[in-house]
Structure 1
Amino acid sequence: MRIYGPSGTTIGSPAGNTKRSGSTGFSLPDDAASTQATRPAAAPKAAANIDALLALQGIEEDPVERRKRSVQRGKGALDVLDDLKLGLLAGNFDASTVGRLREAAANLKASSGDPGLDAVLSEIELRVEVELAKAGQF
């Protein structure tokens, strides 16, 4: 009994153009070798632009969620300002705190959609910018 392909056994049909040799080894048809052309491996396609993905996420964001994120960014900036104050009172000025201040200032630029919250965030941003200007004088 011979097995031809994935469908199982075929009784009574000739093997076609399989190679036959005097040995009892395994052989493949000639056309099977030519159809399996090797293709070079292609790199996976990356997202065209991460900003486009973030913009799409921003479209679906509801005002309540945007307000919550703005409040979190404001609290984070106030925490960094507090860390700076404690560091200066202790007498050790930490350069990593200045880096965190720069990051907090960049995060405060986004609008929350609430005029009152935006006013408070702009005051926090102003204070962060003042502290960054002071840190540049050290």
Structure 2
Amino acid sequence: MRITGQKPVSGVQGRGSKKRSGSAGDAFAPDMGEESAPMAATTNSGGIQSMDALLSLQEVDEEPERRRKATRHGHTLLDGLEAIQADLLGGAVSADRLEALAHQVSTQVESGDPEVDSILREVELRVKVELAKVGRFID
């Protein structure tokens, strides 16, 4: 579709052509009504609230990470025990595997949860017993 000519739009008036009624003194004035009581001063406690939020986030986020780390440590020890069991069934225990397991059991990890820590100590004890059976004694 092609537009060939432009027709001016008629009937539209601009702001200047608008008729004004009243005089300049009739400007808007709000109804003040009664005398209003002064408002109490407010204090800005946003800084304190944000600091509390940061501290609580730091406190909350640390525990699950410690628990995950302790869980990984326990799974690594159990996997090492399974590998030694497979080696024993095969007839020869790998010295490298024993060394790696001895190193893993020497580092203790705390989760912060007494039940998880108790289970970890039991797994570590079992690893030490199995290492002692094959001649690797750990303090």
Task: Give me the TM-score of the superposition, normalised by structure 1.
Answer: 0.52
1:120 alignment partner in structure 2: 119
Structure 1 residues without counterparts, runs of 5 or longer = 1-58
For these two proteins, the number of residue pairs brought into alignment is: 78
> 1:78-97 maps to which residues of 2 (within 5 A)?
78-97=78-97
Structure with the greater relative contact order (CA < 8 A, sep ≥ 6): 1 or 2? 2
Q: CA deviation at 1:131?
A: 1.2
2:68 alignment partner in structure 1: 68
In structure 1, how many angstroms separate the alpha carbons of the residues matched to 2:128 and 2:100? 12
1:60-87: per-residue Cα shift (whole Å, max 9, x none)? x701000000000000000000000000
Instruction: Flag as ranges the 4+ runs of structure 1 deviating above 4 A.
Output: none
In structure 1, how many angstroms separate the alpha carbons of the residues matched to 2:80 and 2:100? 7
Larger radius of gyration: 2
Amino acid at match of 1:87: D
Q: CA deviation at 1:101?
A: 1.3
Amino acid at match of 1:127: R
Give identity over the alignment, percent.
Answer: 38
Which SS does the other structure have where 2:110 is aligned?
A: coil
In structure 2, how many angstroms separate the alpha carbons of the residues matched to 1:129 and 1:103? 11
In structure 1, how many angstroms separate the alpha carbons of the residues matched to 2:94 and 2:88? 9
Task: Give me the TM-score of the superposition, normalised by structure 2.
Answer: 0.52
> 1:1-138 maps to which residues of 2 (within 5 A)?
62-107=62-107, 109-136=108-135
Q: CA deviation at 1:132?
A: 1.5
In structure 1, how many angstroms separate the alpha carbons of the residues matched to 2:109 and 2:70? 8
Q: CA deviation at 1:92?
A: 1.6
Using the TM superposition, name which of 128-137 and 89-98 deviates more: 128-137
In structure 1, how many angstroms separate the alpha carbons of the residues matched to 2:131 and 2:67? 26
Which SS does the other structure have where 2:93 is aligned?
A: coil
- The Cα RMSD (Å) is 2.0
In structure 2, how many angstroms separate the alpha carbons of the residues matched to 1:106 and 1:90? 26
